[in-house]
Amino acid sequence: MDIVILLGVLVACEFGLRALGHPTRWGTRAAMVLMVGSYYLFISPVLRQDESMSWAVLPGLLAFLVARSAFVRRWRADERAHQERLDGQASQVRDDLAGGRPVRRFALWLRPFHSTERLPTQAASFQGVATQHIDLERMLREALSPDLPLVALGLPGETTGAGRIATDDATWWEEFTRLATAAHQIFVLPAANDGTFREVAWLKDGDQFGKCVFVMPETPPTGGRVHIRRGPRPFVMHHVPQPVIDHRALWGKAAQRLGALEVELPPYDRRGALFRPAGGLVPLALSPVVRKVRRLRALLAALDALDAPCSPPPAHPGPPPYWTSKS
């Protein structure tokens, strides 16, 4: 029975890694096996109150602490190595474009720089225990096809998300126009800052909205209950209040600023949303979902945004399009 329970825990951990879209190598998986096994060796005698196995408590605890430290180091090393590869791909895209060479298909992520690592897709805590921050940018990167890497302007290595292309104030506009023109798909996080305003104006004037998907950031739960599953056997998570970014206020400012371009953003919904400029909107709602990457892929597929831009966008049931252009 002990072996069955241990194998079950390991399988659950593996599914957890896959649900997070983590680029885990076998060394990290081996560290995870040692961590789970040593934890079970430590906790099993305690739970069973088995005095004959009391000798295993202290060695099991020490082994667990060592294995956990090794697992965290391997986890972070995997993240850094994967991000370095993505940054290298993004730099290659820039170099190919600058040199006039054929460039691979790619998706472009446009956002205000202050949003980096500030787009949570789950509550900050569960039952009072802090949870790992899972950023929307990272989920978007994992949801796209490996043949459609996500790239963005920024500082290489600053986060685990889109591959970064280094730029500065003197060159960012030239880099943006070149990338936006060649991009297969463009994801836009609207904002009121001057840079994003100028980018959206260029996309609108350049007739690039056909390959754009706009992102309304989600505000995860900050208190109360979240129903993961309803019905005869409901599963409910309780969250304690935590300070969060006021996405509603930022969205309102973005809507007001973009009004100068004669475009209208949809009203803010705390669930977040993805929508096409010419119509079609799907709620984001990633925070109550365990398999976030899988849900995000389904949402992108509903907008025909996984591989190819859609022109015109597909019709979706529900109210009229939330985005209107008055030009």
pLDDT (tens digit, 9 = 90+) per residue, 249-295? 999 999 999 999 988 899 999 999 999 988 889 999 998 888 899 99
Distance between CA atoms of residues 310 and 276, nearest Å: 9
DSSP 192-233: SSHHHHHHHHHHHHTT-GGGEEEEE------SEEEEEE-SSS
Distance between CA atoms of residues 206 and 183, nearest Å: 13
Distance between CA atoms of residues 234 and 11, nearest Å: 23
Distance between CA atoms of residues 58 and 64, nearest Å: 10
pLDDT at 322 over 50: no
Q: How high is the pLDDT of residue 274?
A: 97
Q: How high is the pLDDT of residue 52?
A: 64
According to DSSP, the β-strands at 163-165 and 125-126 are unpaired
Q: How high is the pLDDT of residue 76?
A: 79
Collect all residues with Cβ–Cβ distance below 8 Å to 114 and sequence separation of at least 6.
Answer: 193
Averaged pLDDT, 38-52 = 65
Averaged pLDDT, 119-129 = 64
- What pLDDT band is residue 318 in, cutting at 50, 70 and 90? very low
The structure tokens 């978007």 sit at: 140
Tell me which of 68 and 302 has the higher pLDDT: 302
Averaged pLDDT, 179-184 = 96
pLDDT at 171 over 70: yes
**Out of 93-107, 141-155, 165-179, 232-246, least confident range:** 232-246
Q: Please count the other Cβ atoms lying within 10 Å of the Cβ belonging to residue 287.
A: 21
Q: How high is the pLDDT of residue 149?
A: 94
Q: How high is the pLDDT of residue 63?
A: 78
Domain boundaries, the chain: 1-83, 105-325
Q: How high is the pLDDT of residue 234?
A: 54
Helix axes 247-258, 194-205, angle to 10 degrees: 50
Helix axes 57-98, 172-182, angle to 10 degrees: 90
Q: How high is the pLDDT of residue 327?
A: 32
Written as six digits, the tokens of 234 are 């409901």
Distance between CA atoms of residues 261 and 314, nearest Å: 25
Above pLDDT 70, what percent of the chain?
69
Q: How high is the pLDDT of residue 324?
A: 36
- pLDDT, tens only, 192-251: 999 999 999 999 999 999 999 999 999 987 655 554 545 555 554 444 444 457 899 999
pLDDT at 46 over 90: no
- Distance between terminal CA atoms of the chain? 68
pLDDT at 185 over 90: yes
Q: What is the mean pLDDT of the chain?
A: 79
